[in-house]
Structure 1
Amino acid sequence: MPTLRTVLSIPVSLVLLLAPAALQDASPHTVPAVAADAVLPLLVGDGGAPAAALLTRDAEGGRARLRYASAGRGISRADHFRAGSITKTFLATVVLQLAEEHRLSLSDTVERHLPGLLRGRGTDGRRITLRALLTHTSGLADFTEATGGVVPLTPLQAVRIACSLPPARPGRYSYSNTNYVLLGLVVGEVTGHSYAAETERRVIAPLGLTGTSFPGSRRSLPPPHGRAYAADGSDVTELDPRVAGAAGELVTTLADLDRFYAALLGGRLLPARRLREMLDTRAAHGAYGMGLKPVELPCGTTVWGHGGRISGSYVRSAATADGRRVLTFRVNTDAIADPRLDAALLAAEFCPRTR
């Protein structure tokens, strides 16, 4: 793997990936020949993470080829880690499966499934649909604005906090963890089982995602795992997942996330019309589908996936629209100090390269 010194020695005219703003000057169809493996060490250097790792999945001739790379110390390929908001893609998949089975409709109001729950400052569950929850256009405030994402809560406590906060404008995209906490409750009401149990039955078990689980209130990670650190350097490996609940509880591995997104976008979990619905960003004015977020790269390629951030973990999965190529990378801290590196790494992987 190229070293950080090697990457930085490339002439400035070629290292557009390391300064994403400069990509505007590149050809719309090509980027310099800098691989994602070469950008990865910058997440540890300029990005300030103790360690970083990526795993790519490429489907060729019906077989998947995997490529692993790491930087820094403290992360291994098989590690379990907290995936944060990537949980939302799993939950949205379950909701769309239930819609396909006619057990709910995306035009259903929250009131229909959770009567009397949504009442607050400008908030009325009789006017908010499941579609609005899925696309983050409900106007509901994000409960983590009050908790900072570090206070364990029951779902009902999270909703009550959200209802006490000033709402956003309904119909406008405004990312809110509260939306997916409510969807978790809806899945429970419709099926009689927790969202965790339904996701295990419908997604995790069928795909053989043996490293993926919903820990509930369990603070420890399953072995093997490394350490996780907050932005201030404190060790937060032990964490109560109820700080996020249905919006971000998931524990998983690099390989499982690559397999999940390949299966989802490859049409193995949803019929074609439901997958098209999931990828439709019109409700959120191009910003979000249903549990999937598009990222348009400087070369014109659009990839689909989700990011996840929870105390001690920052993760991103991205895939081509057909799921044939997937990249998941992670660092073992809350965030990347230079957020441009996120886009740089995706561009290095998914944009055609010149040599």
Structure 2
Amino acid sequence: MPQHRTRRTLVAIPLAVALFALAPAGSSARTATPTDAALALLVTRGKAPAAALLAREESGTRFAHAEAGTGATASAPSRPPATSAPDDGSAVASRPATTPGPATAIRREDHFRAGSITKTFLATVVLQLAAEHRLSLSDSVDDHLPGVVRGAGNDGRALTLRALLTHTSGLYDFTRDTEGAFPVTPLQAVRIALTHPPADRGRFAYSNTNYVLLGMVVEQVTGASYATEIRRRIISPLRLTGTSFPGSRMSLPSPHGRAYATDGSDVTELDPRAAGAAGELVSTLADLDRFYAALLGGELLPPDQRREMLNTRAAQGEYGMGIYPVKLPCGTTVWGHNGRISGSYVRTAATIDGRRVLTFRVNTSGIADPGLEPALLSAEFCPRTP
């Protein structure tokens, strides 16, 4: 399941020593960047079997990856040479993405579970429906799902769609009970949440239940599932050929690597109904970069709805609608989301205009050292001294 952080301002760890230690002998500044060094730390200190990133800039894209036991990263531009072996053989070489590496390796075109990044897609569709006047963010949950939210002090008549989008409804997170261990229907997920009293309404409290309900609202308004609407409105127009909603399908599309739980067990096959509208999505690094570039660049929402999405006041600065800001130590603010589901942790961050986007992932459920994520984001988005 997804994980949300509690601090918006991130503190980066120094990377100079890491870069010196992890760059392969004979490599040049063109292939060993601070971002690559931070990525390698996700393996050496973060205890991930493998890590990979795809950076998207106006000048092109750059893919880098690292695997346990190699001690370094390899970095390649969007059109890599056939081979580029380091002088000492200590690192995985830059190579065409179709060339297999170690069993744990992550390739550029691999499909993976994106967890809560699903929420950005779903929030975009809800805001599109608002722009079409098919719903209002001020609508109560009961306006669309009458009687569904009742129990233990929870009342859908007092909750708006805006409260669901911004995680200020106070609804209990059903995954705290299920731990993502078994599939549930949307109604079952809501009923699990409703056995608990609400938290303080109007205060930010991240809850997957909010987005399960939004998925139900989309179906009620359109007559089609949230997955169908996202395919029609986002995936097809943007040509996100590696992005899908698996439904009850437990396997990943090809190509894909392996996914591991924190105890090392293989969890590549998983029933995505454990996450549903809160985290079902399967995608690729390139597709996620493309999606956030289009969203923040104004391709998917009219200006009013884009401003609404980026407005964090309702959530006390913590969260917009399906997206959240992080202020880096250098003063740069990036926007995006993370996603955690068994066997996969993903993070996408972008500048507010969508011109620079970074997506990284590890093929396990989390990163052992939480300080490594801010280090990687800072390495990518903060100005570099000569």
- Distance in 1 between residues matched to 2:192 and 2:133, nearest whole Å: 31
Report the residue type matching 2:113 in the other structure.
Answer: R
The partner residue of 2:299 within 263, 268, 284 is 268
C-alpha separation between the residues in 2 aligned to 1:151 and 1:288? 28
Q: Which amino acid aligns with 1:95?
A: V
Percent of aligned pairs sharing the same letter: 73
After superposition, residues 244-255 of structure 1 pair within 5 angstroms as 244-255=275-286
Matched residue SS, 1:56: strand
Q: CA deviation at 1:273?
A: 1.2
Counterpart of 1:71? 66
What are the equivalent positions in structure 2 for 1:58-137 lying under 5 Å apart? 58-60=57-59, 65-72=60-67, 73-137=104-168
Task: Within 5 Å, give how 1:307-346 maps onto structure 2.
Answer: 307-346=338-377
Does residue 281 of the first structure (1) align with residue 312 of the second (2)? yes
Residue identity opposite 1:118 in structure 2: V
Q: Is the 8 A contact 1:152 1:240 kept in 2?
A: yes
Structure 1 partner of 2:6: none
Matched, 1:7 2:19: yes
Residue deviations 1:105-157, cap 9 Å, x none?
00000000000000011100000000000000000000001001222100000
Work out the CA distance in 2 between the residues paired with 1:193 and 1:268: 23
Contact 1:52/1:332 (<8 A) preserved: yes
Structure-2 residue corresponding to 1:215:
246
- Normalising by structure 2, we get a TM-score of 0.83
SS of the counterpart of 1:41? helix
The SS at the match of 1:291 is: coil
C-alpha separation between the residues in 1 aligned to 2:196 and 2:61?
45
Which runs of no fewer than 5 residues in structure 1 stay unpaired?
A: 11-32
Find out whether 1:195 has 2:226 as its counterpart: yes
Give the direction of change, closer, same or farther, for the CA distance of 1:234–1:4 in structure 2 (3 Å limit): farther
Measured against aligned partners, the alpha-carbon deviations of 1:24-44 in whole angstroms (never above 9, x if no partner) come to: xxxxxxxxx962111111000
For 1:93, the aligned partner's letter is: T
Tell me how far apart the structure 2 counterparts of residues 45 and 170 of structure 1 sit (CA, whole Å): 41
Tell me the distance in 2 between the aligned counterparts of 1:209 and 1:265.
16
Aligned to 1:41: 40
Residue equivalent to 1:52: 51
CA contact (8 A) 2:154 2:197 kept: no
Q: 1: CA distance between counterparts of 2:325 and 2:339?
A: 14
Deviation at 1:166, TM superposition (A): 2.9
In the alignment, which of 345, 348, 351 is matched to residue 379 of structure 2? 348
Alpha-carbon separation, structure 2, partners of 1:120 and 1:42? 46
TM-score w.r.t. the length of structure 1 is: 0.90
Amino acid at match of 1:7: L
Cα distance in 1, alignment partners of residues 218 and 287 from structure 2: 23
Higher helix share: 1
In the TM superposition, what whole-angstrom CA distance separates every residue of 1:301-352 from its partner, at most 9, and x where no partner exists?
A: 0000000000000000000000000000000000000011000000000000
Aligned residue identity for 2:65: S
Measure, in 1, the Cα distance between the counterparts of 2:331 and 2:239.
34
Q: How far apart, in 1, do the equivalents of 2:331 and 2:297 lie?
A: 21
8 Å CA contact retained: 2:168, 2:201 = yes
Distance 2:191 2:340 in 1: 23
Take 2:279 and 2:225, find their aligned partners in 1: how far apart are those partners? 15
- Counterparts of 1:126-275 in structure 2, within 5 Å, are 126-275=157-306
The answer to whether the 8 Å contact 1:83/1:313 transfers is yes
One-letter identity of the residue aligned with 2:299: R
| Structure 2 portions without partners, runs of 5+ | 1-14, 23-31, 68-103
Deviation at 1:7, TM superposition (A): 2.0
Amino acid at match of 1:288: Y
Out of 273, 296, 299, the position equivalent to 2:330 is 299
**Structure 2 counterpart of 1:76, one-letter code:** R
Q: CA RMSD in A?
A: 1.5
Amino acid at match of 2:252: L
Cα contact 2:140–2:156 (8 A) shared by 1: yes
Counterparts of 1:310 and 1:197, CA distance in 2: 22
Could you tell me which amino acid in structure 1 is paired with residue 62 of structure 2?
Answer: R
Which residue of the partner structure matches residue 21 of structure 1?
Answer: none
Counterparts of 1:327 and 1:295, CA distance in 2: 14
Instruction: Determine the C-alpha separation between the residues in 1 that align with 2:211 and 2:18.
Output: 43
Does the CA contact (< 8 Å) of 2:19 and 2:34 recur in 1? no
1:68 counterpart SS class: strand
What code does the residue aligned with 2:336 have? Answer: G
AA at the equivalent of 1:54: L
Q: CA deviation at 1:5?
A: 7.7
